[in-house]
Amino acid sequence: MTTGDSWRERRRALLRDDPAAAETAARLLAEMGTEERDDEEIEAAHRANRLAAVRTYEPGARLDEELRLRLTGPDTEGGALRFQWGDALLNPVENALSVAAGTPVQLELTGVSAGSTVVHARPVASVTPPEPQAMEAPATSAASTGVQALTRLLGALEAEQDVREWSRLFDAVDTLARALGKFELDLGMTWYGADGDMRRAQLTERGRRHVERLREKTRARDQELIISGRITELRESGWVKVKTGTARNAQAYDVHFKEPEALLRMRPGLGDNVHFRVRFRQRLDAVGIARSTEYTYLGPAAEQSSLPLEP
């Protein structure tokens, strides 16, 4: 990591043999203050300035988009990407971006560099020629839209905040967090946009632990329902599959009998029509995602039409 005032130190060194010039330079530099900018921020500023200059004579100019992934951990100092890391990590990153964007986003690897292990990638260019209207007012790319949502979620995880706003994206990030944890890696993500903007986020051990807590902290939500249909499967261990219609894609439910003997006493047969009163239990994690569902037999119910249920 370097700071943006390194050029100041070089200037001081050049003027060291000229006391008057050195004193003047030191006074001016002190008045200007110290910039605390890392290499990525400096590069982003250069990109924005370059784009602004080009747009003075080509208003529709845009920069190439780039995604940089910085992996840090016990085995990353060599600046190389191990095959097993690539297999485990690159696809979850692409999938998370796709889920965040709400449409498939394809990435391609353009290079690997040192400074821990830095992976350079970019969105795969679309082969469809842009419409004239799009050329006049370029729309935000799908990758950029995905990055905006993904970086916000990663920031909330690192801050150990409530992330229910991004529940649809949580499982994709959970997969990425598990892969990072497997190899004891932290992920830094930097996005360079077509308009010169830059977005950054990271997923460290702190964020991964928060993901794990949110996933494993569950609560039960119960509801009493009636399931009506015909038996299509029986198991001695106390399970009955009830299909609610005759169509091939009709909903089916696995109903559990806590006491298998109660099922045996009913003497059910395949194809029998049944009407069960059941307890429908969902186990929801802290983000609100259902991690498990179960239907437990409570007793017989009066004959009636089955209710439309979501498993």
To the question of pTM greater than 0.95 for the whole model, the response is no
Give the model's pLDDT for residue 150.
96
Residue 181 region by backbone torsions, left for phi larger than 0, else alpha for psi between -120 and 50, else beta: alpha
CA 124 to chain centre: 19
Calpha distance 121→118 (Å, rounded): 10
Residue pair 122/67 in contact (Cβ under 8 Å)? The answer is yes
Residue spans in the chain of domains classed CATH 2.40.50.140:
219-300
d(CA 200, CA 300): 57
* 137 three-state secondary structure: coil
In the prediction, which pLDDT does 55 show? Answer: 74
Pair type for strands 107-113 and 117-123: antiparallel
Confidence class for position 134, pLDDT limits 50, 70, 90: very low
Mean pLDDT in residue range 293-306 = 79
CA atoms in the 13 A half-sphere facing the CB of 10? 5
Average pLDDT of the chain? 83
Q: For residue 18, what pLDDT is reported?
A: 66
Going by pLDDT thresholds of 50, 70 and 90, the confidence category of residue 129 is low
3-state secondary structure of 40: helix
150: its two tokens: 């993904």
Model confidence over 37-85: pLDDT tens digits? 666 677 777 777 777 777 777 777 778 899 999 999 988 877 788 899 9
Q: Quick one: what percent of the chain has pLDDT higher than 70?
A: 80
Q: Stretch 14-18: mean pLDDT, rounded?
A: 64
Predicted confidence at residue 1, as pLDDT, reads: 38
What is the distance of C-alpha 175 from the center of its chain?
8
- 214 contacts 285 by C-beta, under 8 angstroms: yes
Is 132's pLDDT higher than 70? no
Mean pLDDT (whole number) for 145-172: 94
Once rounded to an integer, what is the mean pLDDT over residues 189-216? Answer: 92
Taking only the tens place, the pLDDT of each residue in 241-279 is 999 988 888 899 999 998 888 888 888 888 889 999 999
Per-residue tokens: 176:
């990425």
With both helix axes pointing from N to C terminus, report the angle between 142-158 and 83-101 in degrees, rounded to the nearest 10: 110
Asked if 284 contacts 170 with a C-beta cutoff of 8 angstroms, the reply is no
Q: Which fold has domain 219-300?
A: OB fold (Dihydrolipoamide Acetyltransferase, E2P) (2.40.50)
